[in-house]
Chain A
Amino acid sequence: MVEHIDWDAVYTKELPRVYNFFLYKLGDKEFAQDLTATTLERAWKLRSKYRSAIAGISSWLFGIARNVLKEHLRKNRSGGQKLQGITSVEEMSAKIDVEEMVQQQQEKVRLHKILLKLPDREQDLIALKYGAGLTNREIAQVTGLSESNVGSILHRTVNNIRAQLENDDGR
């Protein structure tokens, strides 16, 4: 039996999460948009197969998103990842002091460079947690890891990222 999904509500809630998942993983807005569109189109076509008893809508959607990402990486393996400014200077509020704005921008670029160098699994967990805003339980469902394992890997990874940022500051 096909379950009723309020697609508009899903779209409104999940679009920014899926988009940010890809943005954290790839650091490129255009790719993030393309892959978000592919994920949501695929989810729409597969919606009759969704069963809430098996997975929450977010877990199901991010399962599709991860497959879309893997296909993208497989096709573009030789292209490498390009790092694009997460938010262009023009897009930021004009009220912010220019120096502060530049500093914020530099900090984001540094952070993103660190994320892109993380091992795949850690990068995945960071993108799902801080990009998509999933809970540890949802991440566990999406990745097949245990919830406690997700928690400890994230803890270790966050400490590692912070240490790298502090090292950069100390130079």
Chain B
Amino acid sequence: MDDKFLYQLQEQPDAEFAKTLHRQLSQPQSEPKRRFDMNIHNLINNKKLVQVAALFVIAIIAVMSISPVRAFVASFITNIAGQLFEVTADYPGDNNGEGEEIIEPQVVSLGDALAAFPHNIQLPSNIPSEYTLDEDNVRVYVGDGAGPFSNTIEFGWRSNTQNDFILLHITDRDLTAIGEIVAPNSVEEIFLDDTHPAVLIRGGWNADKKAWGDGAGIRLRWSVSNLFYELTGTDQEQLLEIAKSTLK
């Protein structure tokens, strides 16, 4: 087979780029943090650390016992549909994942993902007809290798007519207490049926514009049988219909 013509697009990466990247990777901070080496035994043996931690706890208790302070803090923490959120109009801080261990999911077929996932999942039965399951992007995080992401499954549907994607994220991690930082008026409680409250979260922090915005789309989060479901998309009604269909 004469296929030599297909090699003609190959080129060498820019030398400066190659050198810079090599330098970055060679730097000591590229090493993953050795936090896992610090087991409980080591921590307890570190007397200075224990003393500082104890002082910190005492200080927190003292501050929280002053009622005006407690009220001030509480006013920024809100409980919506049983889930805690920290509401702020300000800069929520960077979360670029620097220094965190990156966990690679297993990319498998939906059937294999469901078989690997250790819980029974209610799949939605009401997906809009113009959407097709994206079989190439089914991700599952299970087992010890998945670390803090275990056990999670993620997959979605791609619109055949426009650039829309609906993502479904299901996990057994407790999402009620994470205290996600959100913009004022961006979260509301919404009922899927009489017994299933859900949280609707609009938009997110736009790191480029350094402001809250609608660019992140809409997320709908609810829980059934200790599993947390989160749908991400752009159409609120569409997400609601899909979510309701998991309860039937």
Nearest CB on A from B236, distance (A):
19
Smallest Cβ distance from A121 to chain B, in angstroms? 9
Interfacial chain A residues near B11, Cβ < 8 Å: 20, 23, 86-87
What CA separation (Å) do A162 and B116 show in the bound complex?
Answer: 42
Contact A67 B6 (CB under 8 A): no
Shortest Cβ distance from B33 into A: residue = A45
Q: Nearest CB to that of A70 among chain B residues? A: B137
- Could you list 19 examples of A-B contacts with CB < 8 Å? A15-B21, A16-B12, A23-B11, A41-B24, A42-B102, A42-B104, A46-B102, A49-B104, A49-B145, A70-B107, A78-B163, A108-B8, A112-B9, A120-B136, A130-B3, A155-B1, A158-B3, A161-B6, A165-B5
Q: How far is the CB of B197 from chain A (nearest CB, A)?
A: 29
Which residues of the partner chain B approach A41 to less than 8 Å between Cβ atoms? Answer: 24-25, 30
Please, which residues of chain B bring their CB within 8 A of the CB of A87?
A: 11
Task: Say whether B25 contacts A158, CB under 8 Å.
Answer: no
Instruction: Report yes or no: A131 in contact with B9, Cβ–Cβ below 8 A.
Output: yes
Do the beta carbons of B136 and A70 come within 8 Å of each other? yes
* A11 and B22 within 8 A (CB): yes
Flag whether A111 is at the interface (Cβ < 8 A).
yes
Instruction: Please give me the 3 A-B residue pairs with the lowest Cβ-Cβ distance, nearest first.
Output: A130-B6, A19-B13, A78-B163
Among candidates A23, A37, A115, A161, residue contacting B21 with C-beta atoms closer than 8 Å: A37
Q: Mark B1-20, 1 if CB is under 8 A from A, else 0.
A: 11101111111111001100
Give A32's nearest chain B residue, CB to CB: B13
B8→A111 contact, CB < 8 A: yes
User: Do A46 and B104 have beta carbons less than 8 Å apart?
Assistant: yes
- Range of interface residues on chain A? 35 or more
Chain A positions within 8 Å of B, measured between CB atoms, are 7, 11, 15-16, 19-20, 23-24, 29, 32-33, 36-37, 40-42, 44-46, 48-49, 63-64, 67, 70, 74, 77-78, 86-87, 104, 107-108, 111-112, 115, 120, 126, 129-131, 133, 155, 158, 161-162, 165
Number of CB contacts from chain A to chain B under 8 A:
90
Docked pose: A94 CA to B1 CA in angstroms = 32
Return chain B residues, CB-CB under 8 Å to A46.
102, 104
Kindly list chain B residues whose C-beta atoms are within 8 Å of the C-beta of A77.
163, 165
Tell me, in angstroms, the Cα distance from A29 to B9 when the chains sit together. 12
Across the interface, do A40 and B1 meet the contact criterion of CB distance under 8 Å? no
B137 near A16 with CB under 8 A, answer no
Least Cβ–Cβ distance between A82 and chain B, in angstroms: 15
Report the minimum CB–CB distance from A137 to chain B (whole Å): 17
Q: How many angstroms from the CA of A117 to the CA of B134 in the assembled complex?
A: 19
How many Å lie between the Cα of A7 and that of B25 in the bound state? 10
CA distance A13 to B86 in the complex (A): 47
Which residue in A45, A104, A120 is a CB contact (below 8 Å) of B32? A45
Contact B13 A33 (CB under 8 A): yes
B9 engages A108 (CB within 8 Å)? yes
Shortest Cβ gap from A11 to chain B (Å): 6
Whether B102 and A45, one on each chain, are in contact in the complex, defined by CB atoms closer than 8 angstroms, is yes
Closest to B21 in A: A37
A122 CB to closest chain B CB (Å) equals: 12
